[in-house]
Each structure stands twice: as structure tokens, then as C-alpha cells.
Amino acid sequence: MSWIEDVRAELRRCTSCGLCLSACPTFDLRRAEGDSPRGRVHLIGDALLAPPDRTAAAHLAGCLECGACHDVCPTGVRVAIAQRAHRGATRRHDRAAFDRHVATPHAELAADPGAGLSVRAARDLLDGEAPPGSLPPLVARGWLLPVAGPMLRRAAPDLVARAVARLCANGSSVVDDPGLSADLERASGLLHDLGLCAEHEAALSRVEAAMRAHGTLTVVALDASVLRLRDQPLPDGLRVVAAHELFLLETGAIPDDAVQDVSLGRTALPELTRFGTTPATHLAAAAPVLLAAPALDALRRLVIDQRAWLAGRPLITTDARALVRFPHVVHVTALLGDRLRTERTP
Amino acid sequence: MTEVMSAGATRRRLGSSTPSGAPEADLAALHAAALEIVGAARVRDDRTTARLHSYDASMEHGRPDLVVAPTDRVQLRALVAAATRHGVPYLARGAGTGYSGGALPARGGMVILTAGLDRILEVDVDEGRIRCEPGVVLATVHRLARDAGWLYPPDPSSHQVCTIGGTVAENAGGPHALGAGPTSHHVAAIDLVLPDGRVRTLHDQQAWDGGLDLRSVVIGSEGTLGIVESVTLRLMRGPVTERVVLASFDRQEDALGALTDVLAGGTVPSALDMLTGGFLPRRPDFADPSLLFVGLQGEPEEVAEQVRRVQSRTRAHRGRAEVLEVSAFLERRAILVREKVRRMVAASGAPRYYLFDAVAPRSRLADLMDVIRRAATRFDLPVLNTFHAGDGNVHPTPFYDPDDPGHAERLREFSTTVLRECRAFGGALSGEHGVGSEKRDLMPEFFAPRTLDVMHGVKTAFDPTGLCNPATTLPDLDAPRPTRCAAEAVRPPPGPPVAHVVDMLVEVTDARTTFADVEAALAGSPYELPYEPLGRTPDARVLSAVEDAAPGLRTDGVPRERDLVLGAVLSSPAGVTEVGGRVAKDVGGYELRKLVYGGRGRLGALDAVRLRLTPRPGDSRVFRSAPLSTADAVALCRVVYRAHLPIPYLGVLIGGNGEVLVTGRLETRGGSLGRHVDRLSALAPSARWTVDRGTDRWSDPVMRALGPGALAGSASPPWGDVDRLRLLGGQGAPAFASAGHRRTWWVGPLPDTSSSDELLAATIAAFGGCGT
């Protein structure tokens, strides 16, 4: 399907019931219809017919694309997917345009270290070595491919190195395919978020080609940003699993007053749920890099609220950006043990 | 609308026609006034903002000329006054989650957003009251009430985001309306902004002060009678125990059979929802189970007994039952509903659904389900139905393809077919969604011309300019009368009272019918009429008690007196007027039925009334303390009231001999009250309680003490009225300070308030009754 058809497929399911409003962090902040998922569905629909005016563009640009509204929607409208598809249809940057674009919301980027980290990570992807033209030799014909994501590699390179070493030590058939890892990171959505659609699509094509050699493979996502691969049209045989869902965790050293932004299985920590008891959510985990000032401003305010809510308590996170946003943060990668939760076969 | 809009970004559309048809100069003048009142950042007239406030959860549309976001009530009043001054239509909008188009500007004009009016003005933990502005989110009220040990029952599906103002406008219900009633049961008072910007307070005590309960008409009027600027909510005691029985049936008919058996057996759950199996007209092989969600709240003994009954009825109808904690149930329900909807989308290929509501008496629910399936077949629409079965309030949900060019017409024909059958069954046009613009054209089919005239008269009484949310709810006065039109009501022939057990109502059509007659008609039934007018006897006449606004003895655990009125027939020289009907959930048009409580002949002679029934308690005991000083009695009353015992009434009684004591009852609909009697004794051992078994409430001390005759009163809870109680005691006047009524009653004449009240007089005139 084309991008436009992707957008339409989402929008035509919306009944305008408004149940999504309570799940949306930007509606929670502003209580304005234009800053709600339902409002954005209507505005995207209008934008398919005519370019949005300034007001509509600002509302659309304020979406964090966190996907918090997806689960509550009775008919399964995915506003984040519609937003991305719409962006794919309407905005295609090259590298120069990206650099100009990054310069515009400079103040907002500076105000949120997490957003700054995202942009640096995107540059890493763009500036990295060119993907090889042909497949590299496989070091081991395994079934697990750890992928850290550019943000976690930026924020905690030592942590990534230790985790990968530990997973390899387990002997659980870990694949070493740097080219495929790099392409998976490029295809995870970050470049597409930035309007670099050609780079994104090229990476997807290379992933598809690489998978012909691998057959089946499980991507072990060390960071939440890599989990966004699940939203991409991946080839058959490639599945994406969060590392903490696959490997047992060593949680003994976690303080009793810690909170977590993801359910870590058997740990008895209080869960930092999206809208349960928290004044702000840790929604940024799933949100992409956004260069629009309204979204960056919303993120900044949510981060401030969340920092206040945390009140210095340790946070166990799956989001690399939290490492630079909050004090006393432990990325779940640091807790990974070397044993699988259950024995799995390819 | 928190973002600031620069002056340059404000694009005026003057020079073009306005959606309202209002003269452009008037609209421009209102725009200028709004800028003065709320500032440029909170006034919008651009295309996108208009678009974003032109829809709600229905399929209706209405485009505003101006969208204004006040931040306080002073601004709200000024905006309303300015709109009236300049002749521009206006209405209030909360979260836009309504299902009727009730908050859409059918004729353009100014939409006033209430999101900035979101202050909690008062939380009275002692007495269970919250006063707040209309933009407060319902979930916030739920949380505040729960944190203080209370319960605010209305729970529409949009409760996480909808506003209190919206729930008042639509008289919102939800699953727990079955046990606790819709919003109107839980609003004590409203501050209403009238067209000239003045504020009128309407409260539930006014029917007892010689007025009418005008508050009840405003609730559910879809914002057409004025804009609510604050609301005082009555909270209920939070349940001690809560469980949900999730029952699954292979056949829809079995689910309906179990439901009917549960109700006929005298069990009225706090919520009884149903999710039918999906029905695909072209797929007879599509098998999908039907589910019942039975919510049970109360004391542990009550809930345990009700769980057993529901399980038994489920098994008897070939169903499977699970008992769940509420939190687990809510998770399950969300998943079940979502999966069912997505399965329907996948199976039918129709990606979107349309949801509307209709009501039939419970006893006709099976017939209505047949009607829905036949209509679905006729119009070739896959249909689900997730609805409040205990209230007969269905939500047929046909699935359709928005790209199908004929879809809107087909859906309208489908819904009209179902609604007309509901009318034939004795149901209502809407149970909780309202009429709005969606069902406005069907009003003449559901209401006789005379009743519609009264509604128009009420509208004019409140809104003489007709600018407050026009073209909503009521059909235009000058609209041609449709070919299908409800017949004028006729005076029912007098006869003995008739009880309808499954529909939980009794019909009284004879002015001579007494409460004893009603009880005789209900003999052997698990239901009773929960109304014993204070100071009267079983020989008292039912219609007289309703007309006099005689306060009921019981104030908690059963609906209030006025909330028992499902429908009534009034006759006057102007003609015969039927108000309400025979179902509890009815938000079709203005809720006129509660006005007959305290009508006192002014609206016409009350010829007939249908009253709601409730299950009889299994154990009931009256208690009274030893004589106490007034101060000690008041203090004791407060302690008992706050103990959250299953008490249907409680108060301080001053006998004719000046003796002061605390008296009330304990009642349960499952198990014994022994435990609660012990708790009562432990609360205040020195009170030397006397506790007697028996359900003859007519012989309770307070009934004997007050005696026949009109009751005067003053609004205050016992603990706020000590001086008056001392005075009454000193005068040797029997009096009862009722905690549930928040009022002290004594034998005496009513004040005459009608002559000085223009709104009251205009409302009475709307009925063409006997005047003041």
C-alpha cells in the first residue's frame, strides 16, 4: 500500500468516540481537542485533501507518536502510525534539509537532554560507515541478534558492550552481523521520523535481503527504541523481542523504593504505569525523535512533571533517554542475566 | 486552548456568510466583546478550530463561528450576556464525547469551552458533597469521592475524560445507573447562567419549599435551558464489598432468560450489562457467545447472596459464570469488548461502527433483540450490542464502511426502525445519549403534540431569546407536523393499582388508591414501593402524596421519592398531558416527570402515576436511642451517620413531649443484620439502643410523632441545625431532623414562594395548568 493508503486505512476506522482522549499525554497537558488523538485524526484526514493551515500544522506537530491511544481505541486506530504514514507521504528530507531542520527548534532540543540525545543518535546513524554492499561473512549461524539502538550506544556504550559480551558468553547462538544490526537500527523508524524516508526505506530493503541468508532470526532489543521495529514491514522469519522478556534479570540489587517504566516480570516493584497514579508518564520510551517545537515542548513539560513525581526515587527503565533525563536511573540492560527465561528454539 | 494565538494569526471570516445565519455585524460585535472578556489568546474563529469543535461521538456535525475558552465563572456569565445582547446563538462544550450532537452548534454561533472551568469548589467529606465547576473531569470526581470513602455512581463509558457539565447536560448514566440511578439522582443543586448573565440556583429542596424541582428539568436538557456554572453533587456511601459475575452463554436467548430470571426473583444488581454475540446477516455460521456483566455492591452478606442467585440463574440457562474482583473485571471487559469489535471488523470487512441508544421496558428486551436482528438483516448490517440490559437500554452497534456512499442513509433507516419499535414497546427515544440533533426529528413520534408544547413552553421560560443551544432536542415550533405523530394522551380510566414485576413499576390511576392498596397489589412479590410519606399512614393516598411533595421516610439505599416517578398523566383545562413513560432511563426530551412531585395541582390534576419499585429487604430493624439532650442527640446522629452502616434513614426526633432521641432503621437485602446491630451498639453503648425487628415502617417512632398534615422544613443537616431543634423542642412541636434529607421537618404550613418567582411561574404556565 502507499503511504496515503496506510493513512486512510487507519482513519477510516475512527468513530470519533473520544475514548482515546484520556490516554493522550498531550491532551492531558492542554485539554484541547486539537491536541488529542481524535482531533489529529480529523486534521490528518483534512490534510489529505488540502495542506494544513498553521493551527492544524501545530496540532499535528504536537503529537508525540507514543502510541498511548492505540490500546484504548475500540476499533484499533493507530494515530502514531497514521502520523508517520502521513509524514512519509508529505515530507521527504535529504541530509542537508535534516541539518537545517534540526537547527530550527534549537532551544527546545537544548531544554530536554533526551531530545538532544535522539538527534545525536540520528546523526550517528547517518554518519556511520556506509552499509556494505554485500553480506559480511557470518561469525556464527545463531538465532539471536542483539541490537542496542543508537541512543543506548550513545548514552551508555560500556553498558552495551558488557551486555553483548554477557549474552555471547551464554553460548545461546548469538549472531554477529554488524551490517544487519546497523540496518535494523536505521530501519527502526528514527530516520523516517526525521523525514529521511529514502534512507529508511533503503535500510528496510537491505534487511530484507540479509534475511534471505539468515532464514530466521530473533532480534534482541536492548532499548525500547529498537522495539519500534515491530511497526515496520519486516520480512517473514524476523521477530523482535525485548531483551528483558527473553533473558532472566538480576534484580537483587534494586532498591525497594525504585519504580519501573515497564513490567519486569517477577520483580515486585511498583509499576510506573502510564496513567495510573502518575502525574506524568514515562511515555517518551516509545515516542520517536521529533523535531517539531510543539512536540518537543510537550515532552519537556512531561519530563519535568515526571522528574517531580519521581522525587529522587530510582527508576528502572527501558528507555535510553531516561539515562540523561533523570537522576538515579538504571537501564534494564544492566540487569540482564545470561540465562534465557525459557528455552526457545529458532 | 492554552496556546497563545497571535493577532496576526487571527483570521476573521467576516464578509462571508456565517453558519449561524446571524448578521455578520452582530457576530463581529460578539467577537469584539469576547476578546474584551477573555483576551485574544482564548478566542478563535479560524477554520481549523471551528472544524475541531464541529463533531462529537455521534455522526452529527455543527460548525461554530466562534470558539471561546473562559477561565472563570465571571467570564462565563459575561460571555452569555454578550451573546444574548448581540443575538448570537451559544452553547457550552465539555470533552465532546456526547453521542447525540447535543453540544454541537446546529445553528453556528459561539461555542464556549468549559475546560478552563475546572475548579473543585468544595469537598464536604462529612456529608458527602462535592461542589465543582462544569469542566471538572468525571474521573476526578470519582477519585475525590473514593478517597473520602464515598461513591459517585454515574459512570458513562467516557468517564475518564467527559466533564461534569456534560454529564449534567445529558443526564449521563452508565452501567451503575441500574442500581443507583443516572446523574439526576446525584445532583443536589445547580447554578445556572440565564441568558442575561444572571445566575439562578436550583436545588432539590425547592419542591419541599413550595416551588418545583426545576433542577430536575435542567439535568438532561442538553444545555438548552442555560449554561451550568457549578454543580453540587450528592455522594453515596461507598460499598463495603463489590464483585462482578461474568456469565457467558452460547445463545443470546439464554443470556436474556437468565437476566429476566434474576430481576423477576427480586435481585437488582448495581449494574447488569450485556455484550451480545456478533450478528452477521450473511454469516449464519458466525458463532459468538453472549456475555452478561453483573455488578454487585453492598455489604458482604448481601453480595454473597446475590452472587449465589446470579450463579444459579446462569447455570439454569446453560451459562458459565465466573466471579471477579472489580479491577480484574475491568481489565477483562476492556479486552473482551476490544476483541469482539476487532473480530467483527475482521469478519465483516466493515471497519467502523455507529452506536446509538434506545430503551425498551425490560419485559420486552427479548422482543427488542429480535427487532434489532431483523432490522440488521433487512439493511444488511453486521451488528453488535453492548448495553445496559438491566435498564432495557440497548446500544445497537451496526458496522459499516464509510466509503460506501449510501451508508448514512442506511444507518439512519436502521436506527429509526429500531427506535419506532421501542416506542411501540413502551420504551423511550433515548436512555442516556440524549436527543441532540440526531434524534430531534423523531421527537413528534415519541411525544404527543401537547407534551411537546409543554417542553417548548419550558424552553421559553428559561430561554426567552431562544439563543441557548438552539435547534437541539426540540423540533422547531414551525416545523411541519410529520405524518407519523404520537397521539394525544387520554386520561386513563381509574382502576386498582397494577404491578409489573420485571419492569419494576406500579401504575396508580385512581386518586383514591392508598399505599395499603399498592402494598396489597404487591403481596407475594419480591418488590415493594419504597415510599412511606413522613407522618402519614398506609391509608394515605398515593397521588396526593406525590402532588404534595411529601417527603419519604427512607432517604438512602433506595431512590428518592421524586426519582421513583417514571411517568405521569396530568389533566387541566388545556388538555391531558403525559410526562415520562414506563422506563427508568429516559432522556428523550426534557425530564418533566419529576415536576409532578410537588406539582400541588399547579401543573394540572395528577390523574395517574407510574412509580418505580425496589427489592424488599430480607431483614429490617428499627432502632431508637434513649432520650438525650439535643446536643448529645445531634452528636450521636453524626457519629452513626458517618459509620457507614446500611441505614435507609436516620435522624434526630423531637417528640411532642419534648423528648429528644436518635432513630432510624437498618436494612439488608441479604443475610442478617445481627452484625450491624452489634456495630451500632458498639458505636455508642451509652445510647441504650432499642432495636426491634419488622418491616412495618409506618409504625416507626418518627411516623407516629409527626402525624398527618403538611410539613414545613428548613434545609440543613441535623448537626447544622441545633438551635432550631432546641427551639422546636421548647415549643413542644414534633420535629425530625433527617440526615438523609439534610432537612429538619415539623408540622406546619409551607412558605409561599411561587408568586415572586418568575421562572417558576413561567414553567407552571407552560403546562397550561391551574396557575399559581
Cα–Cα distance, B524 to B363 (Å, whole number): 19
Contacts of A28 in chain B (CB under 8 A): none
Contacts of A144 (CB under 8 A, 6+ apart): A167, A172, A173, A174, A175, A217, A218, A220, A246
pLDDT for position B5: 36
- In a 13 Å sphere around the CA of A176, the CA atoms on its Cβ side amount to 9
Residue type, B401: D
Inform me whether the C-beta atom of residue B691 falls under 8 Å from chain A C-beta atoms. no
- Whose cell is 486534521? That residue is A43
Question: What residues of chain B, 529 to 548, have a C-beta less than 8 Å from chain A?
Answer: none
Cβ-defined contact of B48 to A16 (cutoff 8 Å): no
Residue A279 contacts B, CB cutoff 8 Å: no
pLDDT of residue A268: 47
Out of A16, A52, A74, whose CB is closest to B56? Answer: A16
pLDDT tens, A247-259?
Answer: 888 877 777 788 8
Facing residues of B292 across strands? B247, B274
B270: left (phi over 0), alpha (psi -120 to 50) or beta: alpha
A56 with B48: Cβ contact below 8 A: yes
Give Cα separations from B407 to A264, B381, B720 (angstroms): 47, 10, 60
> Among A35, A59, A211, A241, which residue's Cα sits nearest to residue A135?
A211
Do B161 and A21 count as a contact with CB atoms less than 8 A apart?
Answer: yes
Alpha-carbon distance B578 to nearest alpha carbon in chain A (angstroms): 34
Contact B472, B440 (CB under 8 A): yes
Instruction: Kindly report, residue by residue over B307-324, the tens digit of the pLDDT.
Output: 999 999 999 999 999 999
Cβ–Cβ of A21/B157 closer than 8 Å?
no
A residues 23..62 contacting B (CB < 8 A): 27, 30-34, 39, 42-43, 46, 52-56, 58-59
Calpha distance B606→B381 (Å, rounded): 45
Is B35 part of the contact surface with chain A (CB cutoff 8 Å)?
no
pLDDT band at A143 (very low <50, low <70, confident <90, very high): confident
User: Cβ–Cβ of A42/B52 closer than 8 Å?
Assistant: yes
Model confidence at A246, pLDDT cuts 50, 70, 90, reads: confident
pLDDT digits (tens, 9 = 90+) for A269-317: 444 443 333 333 445 444 566 667 888 888 888 888 888 888 888 888 8
Choose among A12, A21, A54: nearest Cβ to B351: A12
Q: Can you tell me the mean pLDDT for A159-182?
A: 81
- Taking contacts as CB-CB distances below 8 angstroms, the residues of chain B near A55 are 5, 9, 44, 46, 48-49
Around Cβ B261, how many Cβ atoms within 10 Å?
18
Question: Which residue ranges in chain B fall short of pLDDT 70?
Answer: 1-21, 752-755, 769-772
Residues of chain B in contact with residue A52, where contact means CB-CB under 8 angstroms, are 48
Cβ contact B48–A19 (<8 Å) = no
> How many whole angstroms separate alpha carbon B641 and alpha carbon A333?
55
d(CA A318, CA A286): 10
Inter-residue contact A248 to A322 (CB < 8 Å): no
Q: How confident is the model at residue A235 (pLDDT cuts 50, 70, 90)?
A: very high
Could you identify the residue written with the cell 436482528? B373
Maximal C-alpha separation, chain A: 57
Please give the radius of gyration of chain A, using alpha carbons only, rounded to the nearest integer. Answer: 20
DSSP state letter for B489: P
Quick one: what percent of chain A has pLDDT higher than 70? Answer: 84
The residue written with cell numbers 426473583 in the block is B265
Best to test chain B binding among A7, A17, A60 (most B CBs inside 10 Å): A17
Are A18 and B161 an interchain contact pair (Cβ–Cβ within 8 Å)?
A: yes
Counting one residue from chain A and one from chain B, the pairs whose CB atoms sit within 8 A come to 96
What pLDDT score was predicted for residue A169?
72
Cell readout for B423 is 416506542
| Nine cell digits for residue B101 | 450532537
Query: Coil, helix or strand for B253?
Result: helix
Residue B51 touches partner A, C-beta closer than 8 Å? yes
Cell numbers for B202, please give them. 436550583
Which grid cell is B319? 451459562
Question: pLDDT per residue over A192-230, tens digit each?
Answer: 877 788 889 899 999 999 998 888 899 999 998 898 898
Residues of chain A in contact with residue B351, where contact means CB-CB under 8 angstroms, are: 12-13, 75
Question: By the CB < 8 Å criterion, does B55 face chain A?
Answer: yes
The predicted structure's pLDDT at residue A129: 57
Q: Is the pLDDT of residue A344 over 50?
A: no
The residues that bridge with B192 in the sheet, in sequence order, are: B200, B228
A345 burial type by CB count under 10 A (0-12 exposed, 13-18 middle, 19+ buried): exposed
Burial, B346: exposed, middle or buried (Cβ in 10 Å; 0-12, 13-18, 19+)? exposed
Average pLDDT over residues A334-344: 73
Instruction: Report the alpha-carbon distance of residue A95 to residue A98 in Å, rounded.
Output: 5
Q: For residue B726, count CB atoms less than 10 angstroms from its CB and return exposed for 0-12, middle for 13-18, buried for 19 or more.
A: middle
C-alpha cell at A331: 537501564
**pTM (two decimals):** 0.90
Min Cα–Cα distance to chain A from B390, Å: 23
B253: contact with A, CB 8 A cutoff:
no
Cα radius of gyration (chain B):
26
pLDDT at A274: 36
Cα–Cα distance, A302 to A313 (Å, whole number): 17
Grid cell 524476523 in the structure block, residue:
A238
Smallest CA–CA distance, residue A201 to chain B, in Å, is 28
- Provide, as residue numbers in chain B, all residues whose Cβ is less than 8 Å from the Cβ of A12: 351-352, 401-403
pLDDT computed for residue A101 by the predictor: 74
Instruction: Tell me how close the Cα of B258 comes to any Cα of chain A, in angstroms.
Output: 28
Residues of B in contact with A74 (CB under 8 A): 337-338, 341, 353
Parallel, antiparallel or unpaired: strands B498-500 and B527-528: unpaired
Q: Does the beta-carbon distance from A18 to B353 stay under 8 Å?
A: no
**Count of C-beta atoms within a 10 Å radius of residue A13:** 23
